[in-house]
Amino acid sequence: MFLPSDYDSQGLLKLPALFWGVLLLQARTWALFVLAGASREQGEALLALFYPDRAAFWLGLLTGVPAALAFLLSGRRERFPRLWRAWRWVLIVTQVWLLTSQLFMLANNEGQSGAAMILLAADLFALWWLGFNARLRACFTPDTD
């Protein structure tokens, strides 16, 4: 079903490149936090621009934790196979939460901008992709040799 080049040197199916993009999308608050820390003078202004409400910032950091853990687990998926298999569902639930919170903010007339609509579309696509991409599903299923 997959090409030999789709496997790494240990025989594991390589994670699709889009998987890393979805993880970055889920951990977007963490990425913004790192950018704010890197730009010391403008860091506080950058965080205030995207997260005027501090509670939303902390919630964003919390929802990015599963993606950050997926980054760590991806390199050790053969050591923790049961946890790795379950982690796809953790990522799907996290994506549903992100999508729901985006819709809630839009319904309350908060953040109705072009960027919010792009994030909403990206969240919808990420949820669809996490649920239905065959190669990603295969990466999370055990080897059936």
In angstroms, the CA 18 to CA 25 distance is 10
pLDDT top residue among 16 and 111 = 16
In angstroms, the CA 79 to CA 29 distance is 29
Say whether 1 sits in a helix, a strand or coil: coil
Residue with tokens 């696509």: 125
Using CA of residue 63, residue 64, residue 68, residue 71, what is the dihedral sign? positive
Q: Give the pLDDT confidence score for residue 111 in this predicted structure.
A: 63
pLDDT beyond 80 at 102: yes
**pTM to 2 decimal places:** 0.89
First to last CA, the chain: 14
Please name the residue ranges forming H helices in the chain: 17-26, 28-38, 43-50, 54-63, 65-74, 81-107, 114-132, 134-140
Q: Provide CB contacts within 8 A for 141, sequence distance 6+.
A: 85
Averaged pLDDT for residues 48-61: 85
The per-residue pLDDT for range 117-128, each reduced to its tens digit, is 899 999 999 999
The per-residue pLDDT for range 31-54, each reduced to its tens digit, is 999 999 998 788 888 888 888 778
Q: Sort 67 into a burial class: Cβ within 10 Å, 0-12 / 13-18 / 19+.
A: buried
CA-nearest of 94, 72, 74, 88 to 140 is 88
User: What percent of the chain clears pLDDT 90, i.e. is strictly above it?
Assistant: 64
Q: Give the pLDDT confidence score for residue 54 in this predicted structure.
A: 83
User: Are 36 and 47 within 8 A, CB to CB?
Assistant: yes
Q: Give the pLDDT confidence score for residue 44 in this predicted structure.
A: 86
pLDDT beyond 70 at 145: no
